[in-house]
Every structure is written in structure tokens, then in C-alpha cells.
Amino acid sequence: MWNSPSPPAIKSEPEEDNGLWEEERSTDGSKWKFLEHKGPVLAPPYEPLPGHVRFFYDGKLLRLSAPAEEVATFFAKMLDHEYTTKEMFRKNFYKDWRKEMTSEEKSKITDINKCNFTEMSEYFKAQSEARKQMSKDEKLKIKEENERILQEYGFCVMDNHKERIGNFRIEPPGLFRGRGDHPKMGMLKRRIRPEDIIINCSKDSKHPKPPQGTRWKEVRHDNKVTWLVSWTENIQGSIKYIMLNPSSRIKGEKDWQKYETARRLKKCVERLRAQYREDWKSKEMRVRQRAVALYFIDKLALRAGNEKEEGETADTVGCCSLRVEHIKLYSKMDDQEYVVEFDFLGKDSIRYYNKMPVEKRVFKNLQLFLENKQPEDDLFDRLNTSILNKHLQELMDGLTAKVFRTYNASITLQQQLKELTSPDESIPAKILSYNRANRAVAILCNHQRAAPKTFEKSMQNLQTKIDEKQKQLSATRKQLKGAKTEHKASHDDRSKKKAVQRIEEQLMKLQMQATDREENKQIALGTSKLNYLDPRISVAWVKKWDVPMEKIYNKTQREKFAWAIDMAEEDYEF
């Protein structure tokens, strides 16, 4: 439930609101006054393998020390995964594994290819199988224990409200699996101890206790930030946090603010577009580059594209970091003129491939930017995200590159819903329309997924069901006809008619489902729904067409978007 002071139910910007919230928090940048929590749940300590599970090196049995064994089990657990066949993964793992070995182990184990982890791997497979086969009682016990931990560690108190914490467990040790071609894949992600952990809470709260015999790295009282716990991770050296659940007041308000910023962009986007079109003609190269980049961000919903440290991460790019090799220009392609072909790896190494006809002026500018450059050179050599965002900030308060993604995603949903929803169609048909509108956004944002492993089979199953339903329908229809000619009792006739109608409906629903699933094969809807689409658009749509809210948002989503469900009426306009 939305049990904290909700954002006011008005359609104004947060900063225009002069209610309690503004008075209490906004001016000095503090995020809370009181914060109390129980600290994190640490990863369970390592449990050595039972004696019968053996490790072999070069065909010979080798008993490993506990630290070496633990790291070996990380590898063994992943043995079935493609990862463990990759040279980089194996090399990085082996290097880090050696650091955990005794000097004796180090001298014996000299080649990862002679290591045999299969018994360990089999053991873990058997374990997980056994877990599945547990009795109801045992499963219930585990569930209850998890619930107890959730109740104890899963909540905190922030300013008089009990709030759900997002991730209250410290990440367990294991092998780092980067995405795409990551130079650090396979490295050991080390165990986080209390001594690595910084606690953030208010001075006057009951501080979380470290486990017996240990201490926290630090306990601080910083109310300018929202996190409860942090630690530094050893792969990239970056900081990880424990923060509140999306259902919390602090996240909800931030989310709301994000969409209000996007709505302010809506009001001035035409002005900005006119501006960057003008800038395509600028005398200054940096201005032209900025303007073309902004055009891409606006039109294609590209990400900003910060610079990345070479060799630290997979080689991926966004708009500002595009390189010459990522685009191709075609002054003519089929029946179109001035086509730009994009082909690059974006966030999470997901491929972005697109061909877009652009205006002549953009095309000419791109040709200019490409002059005398090598494939690995930056396309926009006079531009980076900091320059771009500084410019955007001058055009509109709070404007950054990512606001365009939010704006274009939300406006697309709204417009698609308008276009696709027909007033007299059934609820399942309306839901198909909704999903299609959602899909249009996911495609715009390039949210792709690997087709589910069971996709083909699940399509087949659905088709079988459809065929059966079809047969059932024609059979029932025949019966109805027969009944008519035989002048059967009229009430029997009526109920047959109803039966036909019901079966028709069921058939339609199945067909709808099949279409939806097919179209969704390689599209991931989750991210746009959760992060880009102003929930008030969906809430308004649901109210307008009397579609049950649960068909669009599940429980978690309804909790996250409680503010919007509260706020939006059917006439809401993004």
C-alpha cells in the first residue's frame, strides 16, 4: 500500500508543490531525517564438500585446501555453462584461483586443462535435484525461515514509515560473469566481510550490530544519500549499495519526478528540434556534431554514450561514443535516399542494428565527420556526454540525454494506445493492443531478449489448443443447426447458442495469445514498462476502457506504481 505521504494528486511539477514535503526536505538536499535498519544479511560461510566428492588433477586424486576448494566449486557449479569453455574466462579464473592455493597446490596444479571438476559438478546437480524432491513439510520450513529473515532484515524505518528494502543480502562470492566480450570474465568475486561494509543510518537510531567478533568498516550518518549499506566490489572497484524497494516513498517520488521532467520536455521539444536543425548549418564543427548526435538521440532513442575505460569492460558504445566503424552511409538504397546504417553493440552488448533514411543535411554532415578518419576513430570527435548534457541543461532545466528516451517512450505509448485501441473490442483484444503499444516502445528502445528456450514448443502447444477449440466450435455449431431443423425445445436452442458464443470467445482469446507471443519472441517488454513508460498513461487507459488493472500490472508493479494508480484519472494526458 501507499502508506506514506503520497505526492499530491495534482498534475503539476514536483517543484511547484509547496506542501509539507517541500518544506521538510527539499531545500538542503537531505533525503531523510530518521533512518533505522538491521544491516545486511551476509553470505553464508563456506561449507566444505563431503569427503566422497573428489577432485582430480591429471587423472590423480587431489585433496584441496578449503580456500582452494571453495573457488574450485564456483567453477564446478558453472561447468555446464558455455562460459567455462571461453579462453578468457578460464584464464582469469585460473589466475585468481592460484592466489587461493597453498604453495603445495600451486606447485602441483599447473594446467587448468588437467583439472577435473566433474564430481563436484555432479554433486551440486544432485543437491539441487534433492532440493526439488524435498517433502512439502521441508519446503514449508524453508519458506518460513525465509519469511522470518525477510521480516527481520527486509524492512527499515525511514522518517516514520516502515519501508521495504530492495536487496538486503550481500552478494555471495563467486566468479564474475560479465556480459558480452568482457575482459574480466571468470575473475574471483571475493567474499564480503563485515570489515568491508559501511553502514548508513541516523545517529539517533538503533545501529545494526555486526556478527559476533567482527566490526563494520564504518558507521556513518549521511542523510544526503538514500542507501543503507555499501561496500566496494573487487572486480571493477566500484561501490555497491543496499537501497530501498521501488515501492518506497523515496523511489516513488524520484520516479514521479522523472516523468514530470519528461513532460516538461514535451512542452518544449519542438523548439529544441528546430534548434538542432538550425545547428546542422553551424559554422562550428562541435555545434554540428552536437546537433547531429542530439538528432540521433531524439529520433532513435539512443543512450548518451559515456566514455569507458579501455580494457576494463566490454567494448560497447552509445551515441556520443559511436565510432566510424559503427555506421555506413548510402546515398541511395533501394528506393530511399541518404540512408544511415547503424551496427554496434550497446549496453549489455546488445546489438543495435538499424537503417534509417535521414535528411540530406544530416547525411552531408556525417560525410564531413567521417573525412580522414580510421574505422576506430570517434564519429563525434568534438563531443562527449558532458558537453552534450551541459548544452541540454541550458535549453531546459533538468534536461539530460536520457530524458529523451523517457519522453519518446512515453509519448509513443500514449499515441500507440490511442491508435490501436478500438472501443468495441473485447478485453483480451484490448490487452493485445496494449501489449502491442508496449512492444512499439520496446522496439524503439532496442529492448531485445534471446528467444526463450521453450519458445517453439510453447507455440506448438498453443496451436494445438487452437485446433482443438476450432474442432469443438464446429461440432457445437453443427449440433445447434441440427437442433433447429428438428424443432427442439427453444430453451435448449438458446443454451446451445450461448455455448457457441462461449467457445468462439475462448477461441478468439487463444488466437490473441498466440499472436501476442509470436510478436514478442525476441522483444523484452519489462524494462520499458518498469523504467520508461509513465505509469499514469497505463492507469488512465485501464480506467478508460474498464480493463482490470491486474491484467496490465502484477502485484509488484502495482506497488511500485501505487503513486500513479492513486493519481491518474482516465483523462490523464502525458
Partner DNA sequence: AGCGAGACTTGGAAGTATTTGT
Partner DNA sequence: ACAAATACTTCCAAGTCTCGCT
Interaction residues for DNA, span 462-481 (CB under 7 A): 462, 465
Residue type at 109 in one-letter notation: I
**Sign of the alpha-carbon torsion through 320, 324, 325, 331:** positive
Interface of this chain with DNA, residues 408 to 427, rule: CB under 7 A: none
Shortest distance, position 230 Cβ to DNA, whole Å: 5
Q: Which residues are within 8 A (CB) of 51 and not within 5 positions of it... i.e. 6 or more apart?
A: none
CB of 467 vs DNA, minimal distance in Å: 12
Exposure class string for 28-56: b at 16+ Cβ within 10 A, else e: eeebbeebbbbbbbbeeeeeebeeebebe
116 forms part of the interface with DNA (CB under 7 A): no
- The least distance separating DNA from the CB of residue 94, rounded to whole angstroms, comes to 18
Report if residue 190 touches DNA, rule: CB under 7 A. no
CB 434 within 8 Å of CB 418: no
Residue 109 or 444: the one with the smaller Cβ distance to DNA is 444
With CB under 7 A as the contact rule, the residue among 524, 543, 544, 549 that binds DNA is 524
* Near DNA by CB under 7 A: residue from 108, 254, 299, 497: 254
- The residue (of 83 and 363) whose beta carbon lies closer to DNA is 83
Q: Which of 86, 169, 323, 543 binds DNA (CB under 7 A)?
A: 169
Residue numbers 198-227 binding DNA by CB under 7 A:
222, 225-227
Smaller CB distance to DNA: residue 40 or 210? 40
Residue with cell 469443438: 472
Q: Output the smallest distance, CB 356 to DNA, in A.
A: 19
According to the binding rule CB under 7 A, does residue 172 interact with DNA? Answer: yes
Q: Residue written as cell 546489438?
A: 351
Write the interaction track for DNA spanning residues 42-81; mark x where CB under 7 A is met and - where it is not: ---------------------------------------x
- Asked if 548 and 240 touch (Cβ cutoff 8 Å), the reply is no
> Which range of residues in 89-97, 98-106, 329-337, 452-460 is near DNA by CB under 7 A?
452-460
Residue with cell 521480516: 151
Residues 91-128, buried b or exposed e (16+ Cβ, 10 A)? ebbbebbeebbeeebeeebeeeeebbbebbbebbeeee
Distances in Å between the Cα of 65 and the Cα atoms of 95, 380, 381, 436 are: 17, 53, 53, 56
Considering the candidates 407, 532, 553, 572, report the single residue annotated as catalytic. 532
Give the footprint of DNA on residues 313-372 (CB under 7 A). 313-314, 316, 318, 346-350
- Residue 356 pairs with which residues in a beta bridge? 340
Bin 486: left if φ > 0, else alpha if -120 < ψ < 50, else beta.
alpha
Distance of CA 101 to the CA centre of its chain: 37
CA 569/CA 509 separation, integer angstroms: 28
Q: Which is nearer to DNA, 13 or 337 (CB)?
A: 13
Catalytic residue at 532?
A: yes
Q: Is residue 161 at the binding interface for DNA, with CB under 7 A as the rule? A: no
CB-CB contact of 342 with 352 (8 Å):
yes
Residue of the chain from 161, 531, 543, 544 that contacts DNA (CB under 7 A): 531
| Residue 398 and residue 264 in contact, taking contact as beta carbons nearer than 8 Å | yes
By CB under 7 A, tell whether 275 contacts DNA: no
| Cβ–Cβ < 8 Å for 11, 563 | no
Q: How far is the CB of 196 from DNA (least distance, A)?
A: 13
Site for DNA contains 233 (CB under 7 A): yes
465-502 in b/e burial notation, b at 16+ Cβ within 10 A?
Answer: ebeebeeebeebbeebeebeeeeeeeeeeeebeebbee
Q: Does residue 26 touch DNA according to CB under 7 A?
A: no
String of contacts with DNA for each residue 303-322, x by CB under 7 A: xxxx-x----xx-x-x----
Identity of the residue, 208 or 305, whose beta carbon is nearer to DNA in the bound complex: 305
How many residues in the shown chain lie near DNA by CB under 7 A? 80
- Minimum distance from CB of 330 to DNA (Å)? 26
Bridge partners (DSSP) listed for residue 355: 341
- Of 214, 386, 422, 501, the one binding DNA (CB under 7 A) is 386
Query: Which residues are catalytic, by number?
Result: 532
